[in-house]
Amino acid sequence: MTGASIWYKTNFEPYCNWFPGWRGERNKQPNDDGFSGQDCLELRRLYTHSSGATLTASYQWNDRDCATPNYYICEALPNGDKMPSEKDMWRSECNRTLTLTMEEPVTVVTSPGFPDHYPDDTICLVTISAPSAFTVLVEFEELVLEKEPT
């Protein structure tokens, strides 16, 4: 395909080179408060400051508004298969059993994709198994039911 780029990733090496900010960590990334709409990422080298702009030594992550018209990187399966749907991906987190033991008496269960909501009508069962001498205490931080206004 003309103009297409293919990036084959053969091992998991997370890239976590966030822009450290200028002197005093001004403009340090990520700097979105979760409400400013900077829910996408870009790799960049040019960062502005009070006296202009400077190129950094390497590309670094910057959180960015998703409406910014940047090029993008997509992850696709190399054999051309379709990526699994969100519902299919959540199935691996659903319908599972967690076993408590004397060595591991505590566990944390979150809904698939937490803190995002998963689709309505999704059946997700997590069974907690424990020795008969155990008392199982379940605490909810938040419980949101289907079709609630956000």
Checking if the pLDDT of 7 tops 50, the result is no
Average pLDDT of the chain, as a whole number: 74
The per-residue pLDDT for 4 is 41
How much is the pLDDT for 1? 32
Q: What is the mean pLDDT of residues 107-123?
A: 76
Mean pLDDT of 20-27: 70
Residue 89 main-chain phi, psi, to 5 deg: -65, -35
b/e map of 119-140 (b: 16 or more CB within 10 Å)? eeeeeeeeeeeeeeeeeeeeee
Q: Which residue carries 């696709």 as its tokens?
A: 76
Contact 118, 146 (CB under 8 A): no
Which residues make Cβ contacts (< 8 Å) with residue 136, sequence separation at least 6? 100, 128, 130
Query: Does residue 9 register a pLDDT over 60?
Result: no
In Å, how far from its chain's centre is CA 93? Answer: 15
Model pTM above 0.75: no
